[in-house]
Structure 1
């Protein structure tokens, strides 16, 4: 028995499913999860000592690669001063100033410890600011596991949403309207029906949890226009795509200014940190200034702030995002070419340092289209690549990530491995 197998059997005795986040269990792809012991640059090593090229990057944060020496140094310098204080520090001001500088729509920001906290708090703030209850979200966009967000579409556009998780009361789900991503007509119809009730619309401007799916400019412009028209708060969930697709996030790419933005992943540099922020007049409704309560013992943790602040400083170096996008595009073009040579139906897309792989003929634009992909082939490809020492997301419904440590030799090695994997699928 491998050490990975032994650890997984042991873990299942004390941890539900043997993992602390569901996708890690490999249920979608089958097989035994890899238990990681260490990482460096673009690689990590599992409990059996096998090395993998890492394309999940802790699901996005490791934009500089693992154990970047300057980030490590920043963390080591603050460790000796204490792990947590439950009181403010100057470093919290510094990271807030950096975020506000890099994302112009954010005039004030509140630090939290996870993306779920960020989206949950932003929605509460939007409801408190507008004094309305209804929120609008989109099928396939994941915004964390708060009750009001674990909701799928009802049987028709104007029906109540249905919980997607046990434990979510129907009375909470009924305040969430779920629409199709990139469907402008549906969006306009929903605002026509519910406009004065809608506190907020929350959206991933570049979705990453139904795989990589880009919003169309027409869709995001319509969101901004309808929210302006009805006085609803537009929230961009950039927990995943913030500082990943561009220095100013997806809102910089699209040229659209949301009212609130949720951030995470990169701003913690691999540590548990997230944030939400936006217009000053909305943020003024937060406690201790206003009546919308939000708090967190570890918010602004000094170790997480040190890692995040140094990461934000390093990604501002000239040419960083051009180089990152170039390497990511080289990866997806190489994989597409390898699949074409093997005559395997396949497409891929990338933006900044994010990418998506689809076992279908064209790049999808919605969750319904994503579901038409060949998951059986994806699973076979995933395991073939895993055997070859390349670790992609263990699900056909997750985006992938490239770091600045993924150099030409690493990308070339990945494409070489993919030629063998695609050939095995065609056999």
Structure 2
């Protein structure tokens, strides 16, 4: 164990991590294996993976069927390029399958290696779409504050969390951000969107991109009518709508895709994560028939965009088997049912403890906000590091989840595997209650409660 920690410090630069903390304390956990909703570290400690690792292990850990699908495909054809119109059966069959389960009218798929690439691709495709129609001025992208779309150049620029811009400076121009509906309500959020459109000029806007539920922003679930109003605004101004389903796709919200909760059809839909449940890197963009027809009609010469692993045959074979498992085991329906139970559990915790503000869930995607005063929604001082303390208390109880502290919030996020059953939900709720209760008691003297 000690040797692994030292090797980790010496050689492994961790993504989205504190280099200083890594060097001082070593790796938080060195994971050894996973089974179902649980992971086990090299010391034998077992944890509920209440985040599906990174919102993505939808079918749970340790699925031998997926390993077998990968091995079978590798033995036959591990890799083959799809450049220059080369193709192969796994990519063709996966594109067909995804089209069959996507919202109606979205039938053509461009494959990538992950979510950041998917959103970069969507942005490049919409700009190309307008350019080949002699409207190159339509290149601006509107996104939402607190939205997260990835860490590639365009996806970082679309992300509405400033810390991601500060790391290396602004990556690209022509990106603008409107207010999130979670904080402002539908009317104010739509007014903010219109304000950005009119300030920039509708004739210069290529697309609006948004997550059906803002994940890294704190699991922000929009009002029920928000996306219908967004669709109306986009149609009014002739702006394309991109749904970033990297987190919400493939059953996470209790529907196959998140936008289905609000009955809205986007023009493009980006995906990753749950398409393969993280067993292999894979993502993509599904485009509407209207967009694909324009691309076929007006594109001249080579489409100069693509990744080495676009349509990777092994990844495609694993994804096909993964989707088969999701459908065969009814995991979309299970996510909805267990999500309802998760939300009930959050509600019980809120009734018992007086530092709980909003609780929310849609499918197996949920959050608990910690506040000093639930009546006024007064936030804790950042100096108290309340959410970090709760995360540590959960860790000590064998639960891995994630905190969001955007602009002083203390939000604990949850996205467990879609295979979760009722007894496991109850176990998670019991541990969450114990962790928050522990920190509540520590705060008694500080807050004079």
TM-score, normalised relative to structure 1: 0.85
TM superposition shift of 1:231 = 1.8
TM superposition shift of 1:257 = 0.8
Counterpart in 1 of 2:229? 222
Q: 2:148 aligns with which of 142, 148, 157?
A: 142
Q: C-alpha separation between the residues in 1 aligned to 2:73 and 2:198?
A: 53
TM superposition shift of 1:337 = 1.6
Q: C-alpha separation between the residues in 2 aligned to 1:281 and 1:370?
A: 48
Q: 2:425 aligns with which of 408, 411, 415?
A: 411
Q: C-alpha separation between the residues in 1 aligned to 2:379 and 2:97?
A: 39
Counterpart in 1 of 2:244? 237
Q: 2:78 aligns with which of 65, 83, 94?
A: 83
Counterpart in 2 of 1:74? 69
Work out the number of aligned pairs and report it: 407
CA offsets per residue over residues 326-373 of structure 1, 9 Å max, x none? 22332332244234323332432111221122213779xxxxx99879
The worse-fitting range, judged by mean Cα deviation, of 100-109 and 275-284 is 275-284
Give ranges in structure 1 of 5+ residues lacking alignment. 155-160, 364-368
TM-score, normalised relative to structure 2: 0.81
Give ranges in structure 2 of 5+ residues lacking alignment. 131-135, 182-188, 406-410, 442-449
CA contact (8 A) 1:108 1:279 kept: yes
CA offsets per residue over residues 52-89 of structure 1, 9 Å max, x none? 01111132222111122333332232232243222422
CA contact (8 A) 1:25 1:32 kept: no
Q: C-alpha separation between the residues in 1 aligned to 2:61 and 2:159?
A: 38
CA contact (8 A) 1:99 1:106 kept: no
Q: C-alpha separation between the residues in 2 aligned to 1:196 and 1:218?
A: 26
Q: C-alpha separation between the residues in 1 aligned to 2:438 and 2:398?
A: 16
CA contact (8 A) 1:269 1:304 kept: no
Q: C-alpha separation between the residues in 2 aligned to 1:359 and 1:82?
A: 50
Q: C-alpha separation between the residues in 1 aligned to 2:217 and 2:289?
A: 32
Counterpart in 1 of 2:12? 15
Secondary structure of 1:356's match?
strand
Q: C-alpha separation between the residues in 2 aligned to 1:191 and 1:332?
A: 36
Q: What does 1:347-362 correspond to in 2, within 5 Å? A: 347-360=358-371
TM superposition shift of 1:398 = 7.1
Q: C-alpha separation between the residues in 1 aligned to 2:222 and 2:118?
A: 21
TM superposition shift of 1:9 = 4.4
Counterpart in 2 of 1:109? 109
CA contact (8 A) 2:111 2:284 kept: yes
Instruction: Compare the two structures and name the one with the higher helix fraction.
Output: 2
1:249 aligns with 2:257: yes
